[in-house]
Amino acid sequence: MRPLRFALAQGLLLNEALATLRAIGLDVSGVTPGGRRLVVDGGEIEFVLARPSDIATYVERGAADLAIVGKDVLLETEARVIELVELGFGACRFVVAAPRGAVERSLDEYRHLGTLEVATKYPNVAERHFRARGVAVEIVKVAGSAEVGPLVGLADWIVDLVATGSTLRANGLAVVEEIASSTARLVANPASYHLRRREIAPVVERLAVRAAAR
């Protein structure tokens, strides 16, 4: 059987994920953020680096057994994986935001025009949220920088992922409501989790102890 394969998201979570894995005694010395090697042998565990949104796909389809990935990615992809430990870092929130001072105006527009335009990189999260609220919206999918949407007239509101909210403030946006909060999670492929429980359980246990101590 191949070594346990652990997928790590390149980007904001990577440094903290590596520090956490190092702290529980895994050898992550071969993984270099920004490096060119994307598959790294770590002895009993092999590490794979991938884009955050691909991590969920890797794990769902069994190309990786374990991963550290933000709950935000799981909410957007709705990947069928087992979520094992809330790791407590990488906190961020999905929010609905609108131009400061324009909430009343856009609600008036909603009354007259019957729908709001919402720009987002996260169409599934946005769609589910507004459907549950019974608000009619048109989702405008963008690949980046949704916060520019209201400035250039692309959309009335945005749904975005925020950590501190400074990007929103810099673009003159204010949070209208919070949809969900997110932290990094240890996830596993369902079949791998059950088949390789003996190898995975110690990782889960040590990460849970560390997360509880935070």
Q: What residues numbered 108-167 form the site for another protein, per CB under 8 A?
A: none
Give the Cα separation of 42 and 40 in Å (integer): 6
Q: Which of residues 50, 84, 95, 137 is near another protein by CB under 8 A?
A: 84
CA distances to 65, 156, 157 from 175, rounded to whole Å, are 37, 13, 10
Q: Which of residues 11, 165, 172, 190 is near another protein by CB under 8 A?
A: 190
Give the Cα separation of 66 and 62 in Å (integer): 9
> Which has the closest alpha carbon to 12: 91, 65, 77?
91
Is 185 a binding residue for another protein by CB under 8 A? The answer is yes
> Which has the closest alpha carbon to 118: 176, 165, 71, 63?
176
Is 86 a binding residue for another protein by CB under 8 A? The answer is yes
Span interacting with another protein, options 38-46, 100-108, 134-142, 196-204, rule CB under 8 A? 196-204
Query: Between 36 and 198, whose beta carbon lies closer to another protein?
Result: 198
Is 192 a binding residue for another protein by CB under 8 A? The answer is yes
What is the four-CA torsion angle of 141, 142, 143, 147, rounded to 10 degrees?
Answer: -130
Q: Which of residues 22, 29, 138, 202 is near another protein by CB under 8 A?
A: 202
Backbone angles phi, psi at 210, to 5 degrees: -65, -40
Query: Between 23 and 201, whose beta carbon lies closer to another protein?
Result: 201
Is 213 a binding residue for another protein by CB under 8 A? The answer is no
Is 27 a binding residue for another protein by CB under 8 A? The answer is no
Q: How far is the CB of 195 from another protein (least distance, A)?
A: 5
Query: Between 54 and 147, whose beta carbon lies closer to another protein?
Result: 54
Is 105 a binding residue for another protein by CB under 8 A? The answer is no
Which pair of structure tokens corresponds to residue 58?
């890797």
Binding-site string for another protein from residue 44 to residue 83, where x marks contact by CB under 8 A and - marks none? -------------x---xx---------------x-xxxx
Helices 197-213 & 14-23, crossing angle to 10 degrees? 100
Q: Please report where in the chains the tokens 């987002």 appear, as a residue.
A: 120
